[in-house]
């Protein structure tokens, strides 16, 4: 019973993270700030959602799969956002003037 309540709390917390992140994406003017906000939304919301799901599973096979998904998200999310930001920087994107 306690695990279900904790899982529900984490799912609601994940929705709150996503909601504030979406507001942040529309609030910031330049691409670098939007990329930072979307990166944080992606990582934090995915972690809380996956932990909530881990608390709800009944068998160890599903738990192991969720752990692998969590590891994959933790490894690929920041790397992909870094690649996107580095590509914009190499192409000469200036957040104050737009693309050169």
Q: What is the pLDDT at residue 47?
A: 93
In a domain, 36, yes or no: yes
| Closest alpha carbon to 85 in 26, 34, 17 | 34
Cβ atoms of residues 40 and 81 within 8 Å: no
Question: What's the total number of domains in the chain?
Answer: 1
In a domain, 98, yes or no: no
In a domain, 100, yes or no: no
Q: What is the pLDDT at residue 88?
A: 84
pLDDT in tens, the chain (100 residues): 899 999 999 999 999 999 988 998 889 888 888 888 888 888 899 999 999 999 999 899 999 999 999 999 999 988 888 898 888 888 888 777 644 4
In a domain, 44, yes or no: yes
Host domain of residue 57 = 2-90
Cβ atoms of residues 17 and 52 within 8 Å: no
In a domain, 97, yes or no: no
- Cα–Cα distance, 98 to 30 (Å, whole number): 8
Cβ atoms of residues 44 and 18 within 8 Å: no
Statement: the pTM of the whole predicted model exceeds 0.85: no
Nearest 5°: the CA angle 48, 51, 34 is 25
Q: What is the pLDDT at residue 99?
A: 47
Q: What is the pLDDT at residue 97?
A: 66
Q: What is the pLDDT at residue 89?
A: 86
């Amino acid at each position: 019973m306690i695990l279900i309540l904790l899982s529900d709390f984490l799912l609601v917390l994940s929705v709150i993270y996503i909601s504030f992140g979406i507001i942040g994406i529309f609030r910031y003017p330049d691409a670098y700030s939007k990329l930072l906000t979307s990166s944080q939304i992606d990582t934090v919301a995915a972690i809380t959602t996956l932990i909530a799901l881990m608390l709800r599973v009944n068998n160890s096979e599903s738990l192991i799969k969720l752990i692998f998904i969590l590891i994959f998200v933790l490894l690929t999310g920041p790397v992909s956002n870094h690649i996107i930001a580095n590509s914009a920087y190499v192409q000469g994107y200036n957040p104050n003037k737009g693309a050169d």
